[in-house]
Copies of this chain bind each other. A is one copy, B any other.
Amino acid sequence: MTNICYLVGTAGSGKTMLTSSLQQYLITKGASLTTVNLDPAVQYIPYKADIDIRDYIDYDRLVDEYKLGPNGAMIAAADLIADYIAEIREDIEELGESSAVVLVDTPGQMELFAYRNSGLKISESFPKDTSFLTFLFDSSLVSQISGFISISLLATSVQIRLNLPVTHVITKVDLLKPHQVDDIIAWREDPYEAIEELYGMTREFSARAGQIIEGMSEIPLIPVSALSGEGLELLSAQISRVFVAGEDWSI
Contacts and interface: CB of A to CB of B under 8 A. Distances in A.
Interface of A: 10-12, 39, 41-44, 59, 68-75, 108-112, 115-116, 128, 138, 141, 146-147, 149-151, 153-154, 156-158, 160-161, 163, 198-201, 204-205, 208-209, 211-212, 215
Given A43-B70, A43-B71, A70-B73, 16 more contacts: A11-B71, A11-B115, A12-B116, A41-B70, A43-B72, A111-B111, A115-B138, A115-B141, A115-B154, A146-B161, A146-B163, A149-B157, A150-B157, A153-B154, A160-B198, A208-B211
23 contacts: A10-B111, A10-B115, A11-B109, A42-B69, A70-B70, A70-B73, A71-B109, A109-B111, A110-B111, A111-B111, A115-B150, A150-B157, A150-B158, A150-B160, A153-B153, A153-B156, A153-B160, A153-B212, A154-B157, A157-B157, A208-B208, A208-B211, A211-B211
Contacts of A71: 11, 39, 41-43, 108-109
A109 B74 contact: yes
Nearest to A153: B157
- Determine how many copies of this chain the complex contains: 2
Secondary structure type dominating chain A contacts? helix
Nearest to A205: B215
A154 B155 CA distance: 9
Contacts of A10: 111, 115-116
Contact of A75 (B12, B69, B153): B12
B150 A161 contact: yes
A10 B75 CA distance: 11
Contact of A208 (B39, B115, B212): B212
A70 B74 contact: yes
